[in-house]
Structure formats: C-alpha cells, structure tokens
Structure 1
Amino acid sequence: MKTLYQNTIKLIPFTLLALSLQSCIKQPGAWRNDQIPGGKRDDFHKLNEQLLHDLRTGNSDDISNMESREMLDDKSNLRQIELVGNAVKTADYDIYDEYYIVNKHRSTDTIGNASAGINSYKMIYNGITHEMYMALFLPKDKNLPNQEMITALYAKYDYGWKLTSVNVNTYKINGKTAPELYELGKKKYNKQHFADARLTLELALQCTAPNDYWHYEHDTDAGKLFQDAAEATVKQYRFPVVIDGVAGEPRVFRIGNQKNSHGWFPVIYYTTKVNIADTNAVKSENVQIGKVIDKLLPGITEDKDYIFYSACSKLPLGAATRVEHFDMTDKLR
C-alpha cells in the first residue's frame, strides 16, 4: 500500500495535466503541428516532456502512471518501453511531426504529410478513442548517420489522456531515408552494379517502416527491386568467385552489410590460402584485394567511407560452422 500512496502523490501533476486536455472537443478531423490549437499543443508538449524524461531516467512507476489500462495489461509493451528508453539515453530527441486527431468512428483512418517530396508518408491507425494525439520524435542532431524515430500515441479516455503505445524503429541509415536509399539503389541497378545495388536496397528495407503505422508513398517497389538485384547478383557471380589480380586467388563467397558508429557499409567474406595466424601476411594480401575489389564488384567502394573484410581459412559449410578468420576495416575516405 505504501507504493500506491507514493505513486498517487506523483500522479497529481500528471492527472491535472491530463484533465486539462479534456476540454475543447472539435469536429472530426486531423490537425498537424502549427494547426493544433496553441494551448492544447502546449499541454501535449508537457506530456511528451514528461514521457521522455521518465524514459530517460527509467522511472517505471511514473511511466505506468501515463499508460492506459490496455497498455498496462499488454506485457509486451515492457520490451518496447525498454527499447525506447535505450534510444533516449543515447541521443536527445525533438518533435519531428505531431498530430491531434478527432475520430468520427472507431475504425481505421489515415493521416500523413504529402508535402515532404520523396519522403512524403501516410500513417494508417485504428481510432481507439474519439480524440487522439500522435507525436513523432527524431534526434536533435541531424548529422547522425543512423537515426531512429520514436512514436508516442495517446488517446483520451474517460479517466484522462493516456499513452496507448510507444515504439522506436529505424528512420535513416547513412543519412538517408528508405525512399532516398531506394533511389540510390535504383541508380546502381540501372548501371548494372548489381551486388552494390542489392546491399543498398537491403538497407532501404531496414528503414522502410519507422513505426507500426507508417507507409512511404515513393518506395513501394523497393522489395521487388531488391529481389531483382539479388537474383542478378547470383547469376553474375556464382559464388565463390576468384578475385583476379591477387596472388593465391582468394575467393569471395559472401557479401553483406555491417554497422559501425559511422553507418552501415559493405562487408566482404573471402577464403584465403594465407595462414590466418600470420596476420601481417593476411593484411598484406588484403591491401592487394583492396586495389582490385571494385573491378570484381563494381561500385562497392563508391560513395562509401569504410569497407569491412573477413578473411577465412576455408569456406564455411553452414551458417553454424565456425572457421578461423581475421577481420579488417579499410577506411576509404
């Protein structure tokens, strides 16, 4: 019972704020950013500030006080709250877009921004209550190469405004959104740089849904083009393939994407006849590989800051097979 009384005391400011948002009911519609009435928007911002603060400090009791009964009952939300909390601890976030919504029916509806050019989007959501509010947050540092979007959805119940969901997902990779990566991948594909196109389109698919409601208007063919690039890569190379121009004929057997603090970049796995224990010899051979790899895989070093290599003693027979290997990073620029 002591915990209950303590939480009740903490709830007073939040309860007053939630109740202050009860008034000013509008006709059905959606209002975005500056269209939201000033006083109501200020109160929503106070809710957001409290949410981000509680997520950052990991105060589970205060977060629970903000949640709707349905959200509290769904224990899977605990993992989502943990993930969002991890995100706000690594970067400062600010509002990117926000929507105040008055639903006509409790059914699926659509809101969005059609004025963002290639990054125009719509969000399809369920009208949980008559009035709702959605806030989309992005890192304040716009120069971060990899950015995650936090989405908070609130609804007005008869017991006040409550959080109904909060989640985090990838918004940008290497400074680009999914549609921007799709356009880049399409250019690479049209140049017949199939392997490089596949890697770029793979990244596009990783950030195509920054939240559970999001749908881009301009990347609808990303999945199909990725499959086309993957099939073209298989036909062109027939892995493992010899790296011409390097003594010992190392063979590339797999390519993929790998992340570091600067972004996502290609990783090339190859077999070598050099003794893996002799790391200086492995590095020396890798220098020669770096000089010719773009001939084997056109575009693979183009517009990249890094490329990763993993030299293996033999070809793995399966995903679970462990082989001796030595990993290297080549800083291209």
Structure 2
Amino acid sequence: MIRVTPNLHGRLVMAFVAIFLLGCSKPGYWKNNEISEGKRDDMHELNDKALDLIKKGDTEILESLLSKELIAENSTDARVKNIGHALVTDTFKRMDEYYVVNKYLGADTIKSHLKDVNAYSLIYPAVTQEMYFMHFIQAKKEVPNKQIITIGYAKYSYGWKIGFMDMQPYGFNGKNAQELYKTAQEQYNKGQLIDALNNMNLAIVSLRPSELWVYDNEAEVHRFYNKVTVDAAKVYKFPTPVDDLLSRPYIISINNKTTREGSFPQITYITKVKLKDTAAIKAENLLIRKALIKLMPGIDKNNQYIYYLAYNQQPTSENYLSRYDMVDKLW
C-alpha cells in the first residue's frame, strides 16, 4: 500500500490543479496577428453569428451563445438592446482582439503594449483557462462620437460562450480620451478654463471604453480633471451675471450637449425678457454671444456649436418650465 502524507497530498492536489488549469496550452496572451489563423477564423465565425443575433434582437437563439452567468445577470437584456441598436445605427469594425490562456483562475491583466499615451490594460476575471476578447469601433471616420463594443468569450465545459459584453464611449468630437486630455491641457495653459473643463468632462466619460479597459495614465488624467474643476470653480461661481448687458441675464449652468454631430457647450441662463417675445429673446442672445467671448475666452474658437437654453425662472428637477432653445453654429 502506498501512503500519502498530508503535505505530499497537498502538493499532489496543487500539481493537479496547475495541470488542470494549464492543460496542453502554454499560458500567455496573443494580440491580433499574433493569434493563430485557425483560432482567429473560428472565433470570428462564432462572433459574426453572435453580433448578427444581437443586431436582429433574436435573444432566444442568442442565449445559446451566452454563458449561464451572463444569462442570469439582470443587466444582460439592456446591454444586448443597447449594442443591438448601435449595430443597426452604425457600421462597426474590429479594433483589437486578444486570445488568452490563463495560468490561474481569478483576476488577471492583458497589456496592450502600446508605446504612447494610448497604452492600456484589460483587467478581467479569468473564469476559464481559455478566453478571447474583441473590441469593435464605428467604421466611419466622420462619426465624431465613438463607442467601443467589447465582447469577451470563455471556453466553458459546455463550449465557447460569451461571458462578458459592454459598450462604452471611446471619444467625442473625433478625439479619444487621451486626445481630449491633451486638448484640455493646451486650453488650460491658455486660460481657456471653460473649454478645458468641458473637454476634461468628455475625457473622463470616455476614459473607460470598457469596464475592463484601464489606461496606464488614468490616475494622472483624474488628477488634472480635479485641478481644472477646482480652478474653474474659483473663477466661475454660478449663477454668473452677464454684466455687459443692461438686461442682466445670468448663467446658471454650462454642460455638454451631445448629438450625432459632436458634443459641445450648452449654456443655460435666466432672462427677464419674456419667452413669448421671440424676437427680443433672439436679439438678447446675440448680445450674450458677444459677451461670452470676453467672459469665457476661447469658447467661440474651440467649438463648432454653442447651445443655449433661455428660461424666465430657475428650472428644477421637480418642475417643467417653458424655455427657448437656440444654437450658434460657429463654422
């Protein structure tokens, strides 16, 4: 009879677990063309089928391609609908893809190995030995506000299934988070605080193009965002009166309005001019536009559009008040 001591038994169990996890494949990850052609073709075929079902909204058949855990998640239906709508609205192309052989189960990291500020990592839960991640982005260059669809596959005991999916903003106005960050730095150095803050808001929104995606300089971007926010709050204390006008309208907020054409400042203000007098409202707004050039340097040069919402009373989340919408197309 062969006896196994407790320590030896523990080592045998650990060895078995390691062998189970490693299987016949060497642990590591491969990106794009580094992935074997056969593996890529197989995963592309599977993914084409999945995206087609998502686009059609055929959730019944799609469930056969989802992991049990993803089917059980309450947010899955909403994610499928959002991604499906995007696939109908825009054409997407494959951006990056990764094939992973995990050494251990648990949290793990994939490095993009980019050599510039766009360097990022995918921090993901390693739920199976083999996994495959794909990123997709709008194919048309003229789409100013980009989104990324991320699909993560895992090879379970019951086959390759989608274990993760999401869609998040990648950038606005033709710039990704890193480019928006750089633009905001340049504007900040010129004293253009409002535009610097608006672009940093957009940079923060697009800083995580996926729940898994973490830029290497994420902490740095957040520090600069906090700095700009604090400095802007010192200069602009809302409500801010437009002193150059005798009618004394006052600005109560500035935020970004996002449309299919981009994301640009939206200025909400209170006016004494009756909203029904549209001619007077428009005339006053023309004067406000001129005053903003002095009040908010750079705002007329950095934005294709500036949107305006004019109210006679302070709006709140609990009331609906009449307003007059205007837009200044600068180029």
Does the alignment reach a TM-score above 0.5? Answer: yes
Corresponding position of 1:153:
152
Q: Is the 8 A contact 1:254 1:268 kept in 2?
A: yes
Corresponding position of 1:86:
85
Q: Is the 8 A contact 1:195 1:229 kept in 2?
A: no
- After TM superposition, the structure 1 = structure 2 runs for residues 1-333 of structure 1, keeping only pairs within 5 Å, are 25-115=24-114, 117-316=116-315, 318-333=316-331
Question: 2:320, 2:141 → 1: CA distance?
Answer: 40
Question: 2:260, 2:75 → 1: CA distance?
Answer: 29
1:171 Cα deviation from its structure 2 partner = 0.7
1:286 Cα deviation from its structure 2 partner = 0.8
SS at structure 1 position matched to 2:135: strand
Deviates more, 1:98-107 or 1:228-237: 228-237
Question: 2:165, 2:288 → 1: CA distance?
Answer: 46
Amino acid at match of 1:326: Y
Count of aligned residue pairs for this structure pair: 309
Question: 1:116, 1:330 → 2: CA distance?
Answer: 40
Gaps of 5+ in 1: 1-23
Amino acid at match of 1:200: N
Corresponding position of 1:17:
none
Q: Deviations over 1:7-49 (max 9, x none)?
A: xxxxxxxxxxxxxxxxx95200101000000111111110111
Root-mean-square deviation over aligned CA pairs: 1.7
Corresponding position of 2:17:
none
SS at structure 2 position matched to 1:26: coil
Amino acid at match of 2:330: L
Corresponding position of 1:21:
none
CA change 1:195–1:323 in 2 (3 A) is same
Q: Deviations over 1:208-262 (max 9, x none)?
A: 1111111012342222322322222222132222223333122112111111220
Shift >3 Å, 4+ stretches: 321-324
Question: 2:194, 2:321 → 1: CA distance?
Answer: 25
Amino acid at match of 1:269: T
Amino acid at match of 1:150: I
Question: 2:109, 2:154 → 1: CA distance?
Answer: 16
Question: 2:59, 2:303 → 1: CA distance?
Answer: 41
SS at structure 2 position matched to 1:122: strand
Amino acid at match of 1:247: L
Question: 1:175, 1:112 → 2: CA distance?
Answer: 25
Q: Is the 8 A contact 1:106 1:129 kept in 2?
A: yes
Corresponding position of 2:6:
none
Question: 1:213, 1:269 → 2: CA distance?
Answer: 36
1:77 Cα deviation from its structure 2 partner = 1.3
Q: Is the 8 A contact 1:178 1:219 kept in 2?
A: no
1:134 Cα deviation from its structure 2 partner = 0.5
Larger Rg: 2
Question: 2:160, 2:237 → 1: CA distance?
Answer: 58
Amino acid at match of 1:52: L
- Give percent identity, aligned residues only: 36
Question: 1:89, 1:268 → 2: CA distance?
Answer: 32
Question: 1:290, 1:124 → 2: CA distance?
Answer: 46
Gaps of 5+ in 2: 1-22
1:193 Cα deviation from its structure 2 partner = 2.0
SS at structure 2 position matched to 1:142: coil
SS at structure 2 position matched to 1:162: strand
Question: 2:312, 2:83 → 1: CA distance?
Answer: 41
